[in-house]
Amino acid sequence: MVASVIEGVALAGIVACVPERRETVEDLAARFGEDAARRIAKATGIEARHLVPPHQCTSDLGEAAARRLLDRLGWATDSVDLLVMVTQTHDHILPASGYLLHHRLGLGKGAAVLDLTLGCSGFVHGLWTASAMLKAAGGRRALLVAGDTTSRVLDPDDRAVAPLFGDAATATALVMEEGGAPMAFVLGSDGAGAPYLAVPGGGLRRPGEPAHLFMDGTQVFAFTLREVPGNIRAVLERAGWTMGTVDRLVLHQANAQMIRHLAQKLGATPDQTVVGLAGFGNTSSASIPLALASELGTALCDGPLRLVLSGFGVGWSWGSVALTAGPLAVCEVMTLPASPAESAGSEAQPAKGAGREAILAGPSAKIAEP
């Protein structure tokens, strides 16, 4: 177990980006039948999800979010010392997507870039990594981009997973701040859980098989109940807090019933518990910052909040952080329009004979105002 307290690093802003296209319960009813669609919505609390078109990738959503964030903060691109990107749905096998963002955002050559392949625990792990690296290296500013386009690895006819996952990416700004409130982290891993939430095909081990997500929901639920409550209690102890002193508990947004069940086990009230997945679904590593932006955006811009954030999933991996955030300069959700003609450069496979240009290019579509 990794347990640490990092001082002097603060959140400066958050921007979440979702694709324009939405799939609703009514759309699912046309595919799976109305009764099945309604049962799924009732069981999960998910009423709609945003899904990328075929030409958009995670880096496109992340780029849009990061550009908006840098603009709102007034940060020059060459002032960013560190870029950490968290995603399981990379544009390419290589290079890592963080380097594509580094180029497209115009970050300086002195900036360090690191990619983490993590899912639902990814934001907390990424926040820990970025904060620790920023402090250790003596930098001043960092960008944490976390998101996934999970719809790209789903079998659309698999009712066990297709109705659950949405696409999103988020950009979070971190800044060194003398005297800033400490962040307490507790992280954990158990590789025995790897087979229960996986995309077995499409990689180098099974290249001839389709890249479709498999999820054993029973095992996921059992793992969550086994590891997450104790992890959150440990981070509260590390921070010297009790649940009664927490303003908001923000769990990975996978299932509304699971969120409420975990919150009840921890003694959190409904007012403390953030549930913000109805219009987005499970957005993997983006779910926690997306919930912060969609549900607490105004509150975080107005003043400080004591937050406990907890992510858990693929690996198995899990992690929680207790931190005080706000007032933030920006905390909002934006939409990236679907414009195939303008975004052709972001296709996953570069054109033959034009590999360098196709890999480096990103979407030029106009970004919609929130």
Task: List residues with catalytic annotation.
Answer: 120, 252, 282
Q: What is the signed CA dihedral for 19, 151, 251, 46, rounded to 10 degrees?
A: 80
